[in-house]
Each structure stands twice: as structure tokens, then as C-alpha cells.
Amino acid sequence: MNFVKTILCLLPAGMLLIGCKDEGTKALPPAPSSVAQTLTWLQGRTLTVQKAGFYGALTVNNNTTINWIDTTDKAEPLVKETVRELGNWNLRLGTDSSIVVNSKGDSYKGYYKVDDQPQEGETPGIRLRVTYPDPTFSFGGSEPMEVTYTYLVKGIDAKEMLLELPREINRQKLLALMEVR
């Protein structure tokens, strides 16, 4: 009888282990070492969104997990729409601080800079600041206002950059893993 109880107790644990297959976790890009390294890395590249996600609740070995958004799952409509928009968003960075932002089928010319000087309310770190005339800030037929969007650079490697976007969904900061094209 104890044997049957043991089997019944171990069966759910075994099913859990089998059901939680490891899909191979890919390491995230390491944090950039300096503003100069980040600026050099960015120059002349085109970055597109590979995937988007939110910070996870777990921190292991000083690394916060990221919950990548799976739109095939039961994601909220707002989350699905955001991921769809990000899929059409890219940054084409020049070697002279010029940038072309492609978003929602339109292109906007502007400029970028990289710094590590947090403004009021910003957390410390290296930032990519992108400035361009944004038509969503055009009132009464006037010219679009110039707007600066700030992206916290969380990681860089040979082919990818992890950015914390200036956007939240349900009070969760949105992250984008950008790949070089």
C-alpha cells in the first residue's frame, strides 16, 4: 500500500518535469561597458525588433528574467497590438548621429545621441536618445513637434541590443530585443 501511495505522490511531479521541457534559453546580451562602446556599436546599423517582453519576477545570480511575449498565447488585445506595431518598427542609425525611424509604415528623420547622464526620475545607465518630429504631436494642422524618446540600453553583443522602451503596459516596462539587419 505504501508503494501505491509513493507512486501516486511522485506521479504529479514526474508529469510536471516532463511537461516543462527546456526550449534552450539563450543568453541575453551583456550590459554595455561605456558610452563610447555603445556609440561605436550603433553607428551605421539598422536595428529591428526580434521579440518583446517584460521583466520577470525572478532574479537569479543578479540577472532578472524576462518574460517574452507570445502572441499565440492568450495575450490581451493591447499587448498583441503593441507587439504587432513593434514588428514594423526599426531604427536606421547613421555614422554621423542621424537616424531614420520607421514606424507604422512611415519614416521619420532625426538624430540620436548616447549618454549616461540620467535626467530627473531616470534610473542610472546608458541611454539611446532619439529625437525626431513626431506627427502624433501635431495640433491644429501645425508642424509636428520635435520629441525625444529615451531607450535604456540593457545589453549589447555582436548582433543584438536589448532596450528598455519608454512604454509600459499594465505598469510593466516593455523591453525589445533588437537585431542587426
pLDDT at res. 2: 57
Listed residue (150, 152, 178, 155) closest to 164, CA to CA = 152
Domain ranges in the chain are 28-180
pLDDT tens digits, one per residue of 119-153 = 999 999 999 999 999 988 888 888 999 999 999 99
> Does the pLDDT value for residue 1 go beyond 60?
no
What DSSP line would sit under 51-100, residue for residue?
A: EEEEEEEEEETTEEEEEE--TTSS--HHHHHHHHHHHT-EEEE-TTSEEE
Determine the topology of domain 28-180 in CATH: Lipocalin (2.40.128)
Position 124, amino acid: P
